Structure 1
Amino acid sequence: MNAPIRRIAHLDMDAFYASAELLRYPQLKGLPVVIGGGRRKVDEAIQDLPEGATLADIPLAAFPVLKDYTGRGVITTATYPARQFGIGSAMGLMKAAKLCPQAILLPVDFERYRAFSRQFKQVILEIAPLMEDRGVDEVYIDFTDVPGGQREGGRVLARLIQKSIFQATGLTCSIGVAPNKLIAKMASEFNKPNGISIVHESDLQTLIWPLPARKVNGIGPKADAKLERFGLRTVGDIASRERDWLIAHFGKATGAWMHEVSWGRDERPVVTESEPVSMSRETTFERDLHAVRDRAELGAIFTHLCQKVAEDLQRKGYVGKTIGIKLRYDNFQIATRDQTIDRFIDDAKAIRQTAGQCLKRVPLERPLRLIGVRVGALVRAGSSEANAGAPSRKRGSDRATGATNGQATASLF
């Protein structure tokens, strides 16, 4: 009996954050909606709801729009109608307001999105157990040996997963099924939203080679610009060059990799368990905050970040002993500091104490735009390494990008 043909799927939720918000506010469907700016646990509109009314009853006129926004927030995501105006992730809200002033602005709600993420992934695991988690809104799935995974190239199983996720969450997703992860990821973009795309090895020249080189996951703006200088604009253009030529112009590792991916070769397995190296939380302020004038506010934010990192560690079953901080100043320059302690921890108080020591080693004269807390050197809680708690010499490291030299200010939050 012949071995089954390898079939790998890439599943990408459609405008995930925005779609989650549209479930909460169905009256916004079909409208340009932007998610971004500040965070708040309870939407302000809820406070004005009459007794017995639901979120779906909030009139459109009650929602804030981009033209009235003032601040430096950035877009997390946007609905497809908003994207038609050229609005995209990471764009400044003020810039987006010029492109689509009538777009409705909603705050981000990461707790809601993470809850939906856990829900749709559990649906997948009940159908196809070989799943690789790639973030809050995307996964790889090995269809090869799953019932239905070979039928119509994987379309039957993809359709079942799509339907099951929609029934459980009300959200749609797009799925690409191909011989490997590389092509599957490209294929998941072919028919968005709520699409299924099937690619076979024989489809390489017709479906993959005409794509822009930037569609290959791993070819960024710099590599794309260099390819462009050589007249290589598509995946097929790269495939037309000899392996040695690519190595000569892009280096041994990158050139060899480009040759392989342009011919659709990718043997990476679907990895069901991947151990995180670190966990972090950070936040960008609506206005610049100063370590002295805004000490109380900064202190509360800093403590909250430490608490959230501790909750993440405890929920996922990890402990760590390298504690770090990240600051972005008002001039966009960044400074980081970290310190390794002699025991593994996952409690907020201990994280806050060590992170506070890191703060003493950064200049705090300039106003701050962002602050973050990170716990690294992770091991599983309860593991022999964690229980041993082998003492290690305390050590710290500094990295500053254009930060002010000199001693930290005495006023620490």
Structure 2
Amino acid sequence: MGATFTSGAESSPSSTDGADQRGLGSRPFILLLLATVCAFFGYTLLLPLVPLWAVRGGAQEVAAGTTTTMFMGATVAAQFAAPQLIRRIGYARAFAWGSAFLGAPTPLYVLTSALPALLGVSALRGIGFGLVTVCGSALVAELLPRALLGRGSGAYGLAVGVPQVIGLPAGVWFAHLWGYEAVFWMAGVLPVLACVPAMLLPRLSLPGAGAAHEPSADAPAPHDAPLPWGALSAPWLVMLLAALGYGGVVTFLPMSFRDVQQVTAAVLFAISAAMLLGRWLSGVVGDRMQLAGRQLGVGIVLAACGLFLVAAASHVHAGTAAPSLAGALAVAGGTLLGGGFGVVQNDALVVMFHRVERTQYGFASAVWNVGYDTGTGLGAVIIGALVVRAGYVAAFTASAVLLLAVLPSTLASMRTRRR
């Protein structure tokens, strides 16, 4: 986790054209986006599906949620180890290995719905996802100049968000139409295909990586600058709590509305579409209006309001008095939650990159991803425990209150950093 990184030259002979090689339309950046889309489809198709598969096998809701927790736990562990691995083998190979680990074990879900086996497969897939996420977000900063970080992060957010817009609702829908087994195979093949563009990515120089990765003449020299934990703590905590609410809703809303699959599909689509739009708009606005790091408060409020609406929808649905109202509230809540979380994702990542040295982009990427995936995993287990004890309404409400609790400290941190 403590490894430092140096941006280096590409192995392509055309790397002399710096403008072409470091723009949003450059070949390396397009390859990154393509690999990201394929890998993330393997993740999003199964995020709500594996817990439902566990419930079909006889597991209770809280136990089923542990499949997401195991996946995210392995993801976080891999993210802590990712900087050292990238230091040894480079971004391209690490991304490719991550994609292979994410996809290749997935068809094993077909063999059984027993919880211990599901946990084991989820752990293997989580290792791969951890490598993919750290490499992907770090490469945004490595392949682009600082002036394009906001828009680059927004474009990367589109590559992450499109699979979520399509994959989250499609996974549940396809399982209903074709069966779980077909979706497991689909979610296994796509990340394996991501290995192809990943291996075509440029080999960036990393200090200590050996002769094949010697720094270029214009690369900054590696140094042992202290890791900026304090500077990253505020955006990391916002990421953690926003992801906790997101993970809880994505995991347990399909169970809350299990008798109305159309509502589940609509809410998951709304969350994903709004997240994609929120992240992209945050990047564009942040670059053009110099607002990087100033949008976290907006994201917190939007996401918390969305969680309150999801809680209200669960309350109305439980009463069965107005099913159409419950569906409308759930979709509206999902839209606000997704939009707010998208803003938080982009702004937190950009402000982290601005608060570290260029040699520490890999570290900042790992910290950001740890917050995202730890929060998603905790959402599955904490919200699950609250569901068992107090019901869906109390669980979703508690996640909204937790997120709002960090709003004052986040705003204070942003004001302090600007001064």
Q: Which has the higher contact order (CA 8 A, sep 6+)?
A: 2
| TM-score (structure 2 length as normaliser) | 0.27
More helix by share: 2
Larger Cα Rg: Structure 1 or Structure 2? 1
| TM-score (structure 1 length as normaliser) | 0.27
